[in-house]
Structure 1
């Protein structure tokens, strides 16, 4: 996106902002105070920020001492291995720390957890030589989707060292890439959501000071520089707010630079800050000493760290029946995984075509163990999967349809999620396609997005092809009586959702093929959503029941209630009681 086009977009947004002047804005902003050093000076700086912006910005501490993507905060955020799985894998490849240009992993889950229309992100080493209230008042009615500093295009700043590792879609001309300097930013909620989705596509990579402004510009969001003299700073703020030299490696001279650093905050040494009503960076206040409010979070993170250290063996379970038409394409995607499974278990349900011949041929050259089960009698779609699962000894079990295709990083990203999160089951997003579908009509790039556009919970996606579970879950839950007619994936997803033990991975990891011989090809339609949806999308289990508990499935209720009573109350008593009550309403 050319700078001139970005300027026009910003002017249009400014007109909307002017219309809000003197009126109530769309909601109070929230702020995240990011810090990785905890001492008296850093805490005093935070208290000043809270005091001077009372009633103007709601602040949250976000403490990230270990340089990982698991900051400690009172916000109930989803771990980035779930919300930003492909970006998280980039961090793992870079040594597992966020300073490698991947601090967005520590930032955006907390931004989204606020659910606020606008969220400020302020690092602890940013200061203002004036009253913070006056600074934030300037932007109360500003509707820009991204506010940050030192915005410049590749044309303006071709020597910036971060360009070398920038990864982006081929449709973006390299000259239209943007850079920024991000100790202080503000995001709109809609941009934050879009940014996470863009990173989950796998098309973006590199330093977040590149990805944040460039994705915003490419996706049509409004971008403004907070101040200084750059071309993306509005006239009324030009030469104000802060100063720096954008094309210098350390941004110096100026008040808002990378180096040199200040030793004290303005409140402690006001004479050091000679330019009033200006932002300053960096303030490197020394000392140590942590606060008691972090102790509970420390214990929680320690438990997660124990999970992270655990090696997870993996098994892929595939049920086949007359699947030769698409089988080779699916098997090929298993071999192409960036993390190969330890074992593939194939259970064939008396196929009459050459399915078994294809599986045997594959087994001879596969780079992992392949076990083949030939059913003596026809078990049906769900029973066939259950038969295969009985052979599993591995820690993490992936269910695999014979006619889909897996993205190459599926196993790797699910393992990351299982290491960092304690849930017993994981469901990921799907790309839905049909041989008659085209990119312009019918193809669904993200089934989660499809459900959310219908104002439904993404938990309604209960397809086994997007499901992985820990072995201990199957040991606890077992399987229902076949006479109940409950599908294997319905059983697992309903119970784990009821017990708050199913996590959602926000990236499509399977291309799910819909065709005329699918055993299960149900996709929620707009008409079906209008007719069935009663529960709030914020109530995942109730939302699932709206769609599952139709008259033909009343026989599912008693087995589910019995399992929740006998096993569910041992896992999560409170959630189990609520789920039993909800199921009672459908009898």
Structure 2
């Protein structure tokens, strides 16, 4: 494979309604040196037939066959990444629409940095659209790339990411407990923040379709929704649980490789919460390693949940 080829990894599941739009948007890319690898996760609609028809027309599209069955999107994307060899990788959802210069602009940004020596990941903004690809609101209004903030809230959407093989080589596929991985892009962002560099292009390269079938959609900015969230903590509780499980996995896989004292402290202390969670233990942890966010209100809210609802984080 040419050293500049981009491997695009797509996991599909009952995506027939929007899949043709997405496949065509990839075919229409101004950067033509790509290869799309698709794994279907057990679709019961016409998804597989659509993929086969496009693969016949374009040799840059391949279907990966296996006997794993329905394993969920996280495991499916990791399987694709493990099986495919390339210098550069991108993830693709089945229901978005890529702007024509998406790959080209991402490659240009990545190559401006030291991508031949360390893990590098670049990501971009997203344009929120409806089922008919109408809309112009941008999803990301604030961004962050440092580990402490990413540890609590991910803002790297997998469908906008481009990363190099050095990042893939840091993923210890055979050691991962995939039940502890909330989403694949968040895990990659954390590993890259520890061992490499993350760079952001403040420009939308993708039409991010919002509809009832989205597994992870955009967060509403409606004030009534935000107020409701204060009285319904379930989403934030789940995200904090995911952070603690991430910490366990990071400690298991990379504990001895963590050189940064601050990162080491966050990983080690939050990993222990799953077996030692209590009011006083969690209070001690957050006083030394408090939750980080671009919003002070979220930091305080997370502290409150961790301390006063500590029983939720005893995960063993």
| TM-score of the two chains, using structure 1 as the length reference | 0.39
- Of 390, 397, 404, the match for 2:82: 390
Q: Write out per-residue CA displacement over residues 381-420 of structure 1, whole angstroms, 9 at most, x where no aligned residue.
A: 1111112112211100010000000011111111112211
- Of 47, 60, 68, the match for 1:355: 47
- Aligned partners of 1:511, 1:582: CA distance in 2, in Å? 35
Aligned to 1:462: 156
| Cα distance, 1:399–1:341 mapped onto 2, change above 3 Å | farther
Is the CA contact 1:350–1:377 (under 8 Å) kept in the aligned structure 2? yes
- Aligned partners of 1:492, 1:332: CA distance in 2, in Å? 27
Aligned to 1:492: 188
Aligned to 2:245: 555
- How big is the shift at 1:483? 2.8
Matched, 1:501 2:197: yes
- Aligned partners of 2:154, 2:94: CA distance in 1, in Å? 22
Aligned to 2:292: none
- How big is the shift at 1:580? 2.5
- Of 121, 134, 153, the match for 1:425: 121
- How big is the shift at 1:437? 9.0
- Aligned partners of 1:477, 1:426: CA distance in 2, in Å? 17
Q: Cα RMSD over matched residues?
A: 3.1
Is the CA contact 1:319–1:349 (under 8 Å) kept in the aligned structure 2? yes
- Of 322, 339, 342, the match for 2:34: 342
Matched, 1:518 2:214: yes
Matched, 1:435 2:131: yes
- Larger Rg belongs to: 1
- Aligned partners of 1:315, 1:394: CA distance in 2, in Å? 6
Q: Write out per-residue CA displacement over residues 257-286 of structure 1, whole angstroms, 9 at most, x where no aligned residue.
A: xxxxxxxxxxxxxxxxxxxxxxxxxxxxxx
| Cα distance, 1:465–1:421 mapped onto 2, change above 3 Å | same
- Aligned partners of 1:461, 1:357: CA distance in 2, in Å? 34
| Cα distance, 1:531–1:475 mapped onto 2, change above 3 Å | farther
Matched, 1:410 2:106: no
- Aligned partners of 2:156, 2:227: CA distance in 1, in Å? 19
Is the CA contact 1:345–1:373 (under 8 Å) kept in the aligned structure 2? no
| Cα distance, 1:547–1:489 mapped onto 2, change above 3 Å | farther
Say which SS state the counterpart of residue 390 (structure 1) adopts.
helix
Higher relative contact order structure (alpha carbons within 8 Å, sequence separation ≥ 6):
2
- Aligned partners of 1:580, 1:529: CA distance in 2, in Å? 33
Relative to total residues, which structure has the larger helix share, 1 or 2?
Answer: 2
Is the CA contact 1:345–1:388 (under 8 Å) kept in the aligned structure 2? yes
- Aligned partners of 1:375, 1:548: CA distance in 2, in Å? 31
Q: Write out per-residue CA displacement over residues 16-38 of structure 1, whole angstroms, 9 at most, x where no aligned residue.
A: xxxxxxxxxxxxxxxxxxxxxxx
Say which SS state the counterpart of residue 91 (structure 2) adopts.
strand
- Aligned partners of 2:120, 2:28: CA distance in 1, in Å? 26
Is the CA contact 1:564–1:580 (under 8 Å) kept in the aligned structure 2? no
| Cα distance, 1:353–1:341 mapped onto 2, change above 3 Å | farther
Is the CA contact 1:312–1:415 (under 8 Å) kept in the aligned structure 2? no
Matched, 1:324 2:20: no
Unaligned runs of at least 5 residues, structure 1:
1-309, 533-545
- Aligned partners of 1:490, 1:524: CA distance in 2, in Å? 20
- How big is the shift at 1:315? 0.6
- Aligned partners of 2:112, 2:3: CA distance in 1, in Å? 12
Say which SS state the counterpart of residue 429 (structure 1) adopts.
strand
Say which SS state the counterpart of residue 477 (structure 1) adopts.
coil
Is the CA contact 2:74–2:184 (under 8 Å) kept in the aligned structure 1? yes
Unaligned runs of at least 5 residues, structure 2:
144-148, 230-235, 274-316
The size of the alignment, in residue pairs, is 251
Matched, 1:315 2:11: no
- Aligned partners of 1:431, 1:481: CA distance in 2, in Å? 33
- Aligned partners of 2:181, 2:242: CA distance in 1, in Å? 10
Is the CA contact 2:107–2:162 (under 8 Å) kept in the aligned structure 1? no
Say which SS state the counterpart of residue 403 (structure 1) adopts.
coil
